[in-house]
């Protein structure tokens, strides 16, 4: 090759490179926009109207087009949801919610939290299945079957927003307490309850129990500041299962669920658990009595013990009556409760009494000596049950100020006394100490 031809070739290559770079600089190589088209052009009913078609028991087969919209609230990305998608009718303040059973995993990739979806339920079953209203495939083995993976797109489609999937910011429905959340109207909805903590019997545990290194489906008890109990249900496949439960209180976001008669709240991931506040003390006596209490018997054979009465069950009971009245003095004394970093604090509890006798006495100390007879106690004034002619007249103590003891660790004591002349049976439940 002569020098002139060589130079001409180099010039051509340089020009071509310059042309290509010019194209890049003009953004002419950008990926073309993805065209998003709605599979189902419009709705002909609402989620609430569709859900109302479910019979009170069993199921119904949908034989005509029933097209409605929803917003996804569940996510299987962390493993706590399995082959099911929960959705509600609005991103905030929802009025209805459902779940659809699908024989497909990694649904979060196609339908992330907040995804606006449209469903045509023609050919699916709608009904109450193991405690929740669901839609799913016709299946000989199950009332509501899973839609085969190959058919999921026949029934579910994302709703477009410009060139892509419409994804809304979901705002959890704020509920007053855990008892309110245990309502069929909220099943499959995304909700939030404030001032919640894991039960004291759960502290030191992980989200999952393990056996031979493998995770197990695990319930963890939670309690709100009013003493209402519920459980967080964690799947054996929860990828954060080895994380220790937080030792604090705060906001809990979850999807309400029920399996038969058991309420099982489901978190999507650990971001749903924001517990950074100071724990409150709550005792519903659903564990071992010696977890949080000392029982000290001074006189008599009868002692404090847990029984299946309660408000709700169980509670702790003391009675000096066993066919005859007996003389007793028995103390139920809490292990230290921290009021450190609090500016105010209050004690409350519930009592239910039967038969004439002496009232319970309530005390507090910041220096328990391990002997109630040598400890200096401060008496506390409380409202007790006064209807001693019958049980099940549970009485709230009112909020008893502990402000004089903030910044300290305290012990709360309940003193029971009876005699051979009279012996009241006292039931005690829902002992709570809350501070700010």
**Residue range 79-113, pLDDT digits in tens:** 999 999 999 999 999 999 999 999 999 999 999 99
Q: Please state the rounded mean pLDDT for residues 419-433.
A: 97
Write the pLDDT tens digit of every residue in 392-419. 999 999 999 999 999 999 999 999 999 9
What is the band of 276 on the pLDDT scale with cuts at 50, 70, 90?
very high
CA angle (238 as vertex; 269, 90 as ends), nearest 5: 40
Q: Please state the rounded mean pLDDT for residues 134-148.
A: 96
Q: What pLDDT score does 400 carry?
A: 98
Asked whether 320 and 300 are in contact (CB, 8 A), the reply is yes
Q: What pLDDT score does 5 carry?
A: 46
Percentage of residues of the chain with pLDDT beyond 90:
86
In this model, does residue 252 exceed pLDDT 60? yes
Q: What pLDDT score does 49 carry?
A: 98
Rounded to whole angstroms, what are the CA distances from 287 to 28, 251, 292, 316, 410? 68, 24, 9, 11, 21
What tokens appear for 261 in the block?
Answer: 């008669």
Percentage of residues of the chain with pLDDT beyond 70:
92
Q: What pLDDT score does 30 carry?
A: 54
Higher-pLDDT residue of 94 and 39 is 94
**Residue 63 backbone phi and psi in degrees, to 5:** -110, 0
Residue located via tokens 């549970």: 394
In this model, does residue 35 exceed pLDDT 80? no
Ordered structural domains, the chain, with CATH: 47-165 (2.40.50), 173-277 (2.40.50), 289-435 (2.60.120.200)
Write the pLDDT tens digit of every residue in 293-338. 999 999 999 999 999 988 889 999 999 999 999 999 999 999 999 9
Of the listed ranges 1-10, 189-198, 360-369, the one predicted with least confidence: 1-10
Of the listed ranges 31-35, 37-41, 174-178, the one predicted with least confidence: 31-35
In this model, does residue 21 exceed pLDDT 50? no
Q: Please state the rounded mean pLDDT for residues 242-259.
A: 97
Q: What pLDDT score does 31 carry?
A: 47
Q: What pLDDT score does 227 carry?
A: 87
In this model, does residue 13 exceed pLDDT 90? no
CA proximity to 159, closest of 40, 34, 33, 32: 40
The Cα 417–Cα 403 span in angstroms is 28
CB atoms within 10 A of CB 114: 17
Which residues neighbour 246 within 8 Å (Cβ) at sequence distance 6 or greater?
A: 198, 273, 275
256-270 core/surface letters (b: 16 or more CB in 10 A; e: else): bbbeeeebbbbbbbe
- Check the CA dihedral 262-268-270-272 and report its sign: negative
Write the pLDDT tens digit of every residue in 180-231. 999 999 999 999 999 999 998 899 999 999 999 999 999 999 999 988 999 9
Q: What pLDDT score does 312 carry?
A: 85
Global pTM reads 0.84
Q: Across all residues in the chain, what is the average pLDDT? A: 92
In this model, does residue 8 exceed pLDDT 80? no
CB atoms within 10 A of CB 115: 24
Write the pLDDT tens digit of every residue in 335-359. 999 999 899 999 999 999 999 999 9
Which residues neighbour 296 within 8 Å (Cβ) at sequence distance 6 or greater?
A: 330, 331, 333, 371, 372
Q: What pLDDT score does 34 carry?
A: 52
Asked whether 399 and 380 are in contact (CB, 8 A), the reply is no
What tokens appear for 408 in the block?
Answer: 């300290």
CA angle (88 as vertex; 43, 128 as ends), nearest 5: 95
The Cα 114–Cα 70 span in angstroms is 9
What are residue 148's DSSP bridge partners? Answer: 103
Determine the length of the chain.
Answer: 436
CA proximity to 187, closest of 310, 288, 54: 54
The Cα 90–Cα 171 span in angstroms is 9
What tokens appear for 153 in the block?
Answer: 């797109």
């Amino acid at each position: 090759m002569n020098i002139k031809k060589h130079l001409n070739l180099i010039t051509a290559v340089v020009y071509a490179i310059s042309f290509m770079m010019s194209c890049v600089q003009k953004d002419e190589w950008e990926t073309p926009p993805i065209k998003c088209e709605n599979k189902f052009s419009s709705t002909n009913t609402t989620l609430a109207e569709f859900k109302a078609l479910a019979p009170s028991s069993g199921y119904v087969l949908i034989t005509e087009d029933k097209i409605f919209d929803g917003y996804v609230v569940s996510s299987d990305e962390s493993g706590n949801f399995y082959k099911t998608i929960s959705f509600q009718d609005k991103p905030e303040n929802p009025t209805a919610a459902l779940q659809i059973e699908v024989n497909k995993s990694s649904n979060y990739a196609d339908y992330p939290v907040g995804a606006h979806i449209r469903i045509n339920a023609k050919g699916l079953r709608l009904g109450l299945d193991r405690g929740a209203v669901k839609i799913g495939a016709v299946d000989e083995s199950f009332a509501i079957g899973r839609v085969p993976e190959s058919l999921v797109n026949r029934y579910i489609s994302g709703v477009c927003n410009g060139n892509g999937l419409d994804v809304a910011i979901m705002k959890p429905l704020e509920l007053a307490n855990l008892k309110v959340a245990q309502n069929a109207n909220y099943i499959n909805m995304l909700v939030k309850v404030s001032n919640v903590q894991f039960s004291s019997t759960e502290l030191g545990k992980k989200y999952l129990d393990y056996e031979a290194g493998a995770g197990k489906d695990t319930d963890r008890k939670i309690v709100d500041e009013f003493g209402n109990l519920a459980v967080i249900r964690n799947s054996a496949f929860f990828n954060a299962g080895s994380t220790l439960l937080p030792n604090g209180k705060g906001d809990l976001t979850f999807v309400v669920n029920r399996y038969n008669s058991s309420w099982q709240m489901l978190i999507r991931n650990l971001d749903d658990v924001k517990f950074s506040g100071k724990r409150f003390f709550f005792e519903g006596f659903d564990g071992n009595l010696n977890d949080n209490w000392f029982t000290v018997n001074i006189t008599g054979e009868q002692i404090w013990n847990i029984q299946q009465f309660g408000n709700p069950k169980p509670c702790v009971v003391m009675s000096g009556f066993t066919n005859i009245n007996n003389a007793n003095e028995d103390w139920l004394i809490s292990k230290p409760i921290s009021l450190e970093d609090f500016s105010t604090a209050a004690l409350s509890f519930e009592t239910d009494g039967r038969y004439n006798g002496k009232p319970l006495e309530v005390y507090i100390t910041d220096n328990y000596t391990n002997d109630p007879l040598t400890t200096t106690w401060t008496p506390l004034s409380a409202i007790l049950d006064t209807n001693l002619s019958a049980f099940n007249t549970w009485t709230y103590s009112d909020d008893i100020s502990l402000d004089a003891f903030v910044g300290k660790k305290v012990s709360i004591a309940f003193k029971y006394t009876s005699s051979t002349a009279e012996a009241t049976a006292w039931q005690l439940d829902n002992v709570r100490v809350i501070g700010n």
